[in-house]
Amino acid sequence: MIYKDREARSSALSIPGLSIPGEKSSKRLSILKQPALSVLNDHLIAYPTPSNLNYFWGFGSLAGICLLIQILSGIFLAMHYAAHVDLAFMSVEHIMRDIEGGWFIRYLHANGASMFFIVVYVHMFRGLYYGSYASPREVVWLVGVVILLLMILTAFMGYVLPWGQMSLWGATVITSLASAVPVVGDHIVTFLWGGFSVDNATLNRFFSLHYLMPFIIAGASIVHIAALHQYGSNNPLGVNASVDKVSFYPYFYVKDLVGWVSFAIFFSVFVFFYPNTLGHPDNYIPANAMSTPAHIVPEWYLLLFYAILRSVPNKLGGVALMLGVFVALAILPFINTSPVRSSNFRPLMKKFYWLFVADCYILVWIGACEVATPFVEIGQLATLVFFAYLLVIIPALGKFETLLLTRKLNKPWKPAFVSNLPLIRG
């Protein structure tokens, strides 16, 4: 049977009992239709993708690549790392100086953490700008917030492992925050330390958890992708793109490849030319419990949360406010009131969004400054703006825009002063 056009051919295939000779057998024998690879084909190769996605949508796949780099480099580092307070610092130096290619693996892992956070932050801010948290993608956003929290915990524990000065004192300061919990706080701190101070038991626990957590993040990432593919990707217009989709391969594979290569160049510049720029020099000093650094700061990607923590003089209030960041992000899909997703069509939201980005930058800067005037006051104001955007501006502006969009006028509107002007007759 010969079909003159594609529509007749496809309609024939949809009729039970009627098919083109060899069509079903060729599909059945395709390697991508086999049970093991059919999931990969459906969710990656032949995945229907909105045709108007821009390069910012490539940061999701970049995050997966960063996670894979961290897992593989971490496994190789663990082969030579010694999780003991007397050996940890020297084992890292042994990897750097004596192991063939050890310096590369170590710098790849250390800078890879920063690259991972850069990619995830861009991915998250893209979601905020284009309204990717809005219905029906609430679960996608919630799982993303959980992944961010797991990443922060994993990065903190990894920062402790080199056992330099910042490792020891950073662990001491951050784990001590648990003592702010009423009644059971001191017991939690003792449990985390495995004793009465940050010591060998603490280092062993952090090493074990740091090795485990990336695999939990990988599992959460699979859930994240599965939830995304349930309703499909958002797009820059924020509209239903089900009528205008193309397969991921080869169209967006090539587009993502441009981002991957560009990112590899950016990553390589830090690994090969500026490997210690994103770290702290004090962590090249062996941990010494008898000498406190003049200024204890976490890695740059945790400075925003550290600034929010410090903005409240009370320890419990600071911890609650820091955890409130994740609560505010998690409830964002449920307090959003705007019928329009993309900020491209929301002039007021676009201005507030860039104010929010600037505010986040200020918080990162404040987190690296010492606790003194005027940095404390600036940090408190920036913290107020941060939560005001997430909890007040987004829902309030959505309602205001909805009011403007749905307002019914019986007659054309004109300013009051125009109606009061005397009629000029000519």
- Residue 58 CA to residue 255 CA, distance in Å, equals 8
Q: What is the dihedral of CA 404, 406, 412, 413, to 10 degrees?
A: -30
Q: Is 123 assigned a ligand-binding role in the annotation?
A: yes
User: Is 33 considered catalytic here?
Assistant: no
Annotated catalytic residue within 84, 94, 245, 255: 255
Active-site hit among 80, 229, 315, 350: 229
Q: Which of 138, 299, 359, 401 is catalytic?
A: 299
Query: 49: which strand partners?
Result: 246
Mapped onto helix, strand or coil, the DSSP state of residue 250 is helix
Residue 359 bears catalytic tag: no
Q: Positive or negative, the Cα torsion across 93, 97, 102, 108?
A: positive
Active-site residue (options: 138, 256, 359, 401): 256
Q: Which member of 61, 73, 233, 342 is catalytic?
A: 233
Query: Which of 87, 142, 133, 80 has its CA nearest to residue 109?
Result: 80
Q: Is 210 marked as a binding-site residue?
A: yes
Q: Is 94 annotated as a binding residue?
A: no
Max Cα separation, the chain? 98
291 is catalytic: no
Is 19 an active-site residue? Answer: no
Q: How far apart are CA 238 and CA 344, in angstroms?
A: 9
Residues 6 or more apart whose CB falls under 8 angstroms from that of 210 comprise 74, 154, 157, 158, 161
Instruction: With beta carbons less than 8 A apart as the criterion, state whether 157 and 251 touch.
Output: no
**Is there a catalytic annotation at residue 93?**
no
* Annotation: binding site for heme b: 109, 123, 210, 224
Binding site members:
109, 123, 210, 224, 229
- The annotated binding site for a ubiquinone is made up of 229
**Residues designated catalytic:** 229, 233, 255-256, 299
